[in-house]
Amino acid sequence: MHATTILMVRKGGKVVIGGDGQVSLGQTIVKGNARKVRRLAKGAVIAGFAGATADAFTLFERLEAKLDQYPGQLTRACVELTKDWRTDRYLRRLEAMMLVADKDVSLLLSGAGDVLEPEGGVMAIGSGGNYALAAARALEDGEHDAEAIVRKALGIAAEICVYTNGNLVIEQLEISAS
């Protein structure tokens, strides 16, 4: 996926998802302050999106409907969404990925049918995702909290990836004690 970076970190009683604001069409930046990270399910779920803008709205709406159908069951709602995404004639044309989290679980969703939990509480998607992921993994053992890791790692990705900028949207939730 080009044109964005979304990073999720679960650490120290919080789960944080952050994303940059750049929207690109080919080699042109058309918007620098898009909101690719949102709260869903009356604020109980946070989600970030990498892919086309229209696809984002479609998938956020579909996920919200699944969360209404399966309240408090993020994993079940995500599995049902990815089933639809993979089998529905319209949805399967969407080329996108999502990171979603609630107080208990963090997941990566794709149109290929993936519903994956991160190893170690860190996961990233988008064209700058590997840069942000590497930076976050390097920072996670240090003194930084989840939000600081997300901010620093996305800043590093913005310095490296031409499809990522420094206009960040950060959302966080308190997580369950494990």
Measured between alpha carbons, how far is 110 from 128 in angstroms, rounded to an integer? 17
Q: Which residues contact 78 (CB under 8 A, 6 or more apart)?
A: 63, 66, 100, 107, 109, 115
End-to-end CA distance of the chain: 33
Distances (CA, A) of 139 to 12, 37, 133, 135, 151: 13, 22, 10, 6, 11
Measured between alpha carbons, how far is 34 from 118 in angstroms, rounded to an integer? 25
Where do the DSSP E strands lie in the chain? 5-11, 14-19, 23-25, 28-31, 37-40, 45-51, 96-101, 106-110, 115-116, 122-126, 169-174
Q: What 8-state DSSP symbol labels residue 42?
A: G
The tokens describing 62, both together, are 């579909």
Residues marked as catalytic: 4
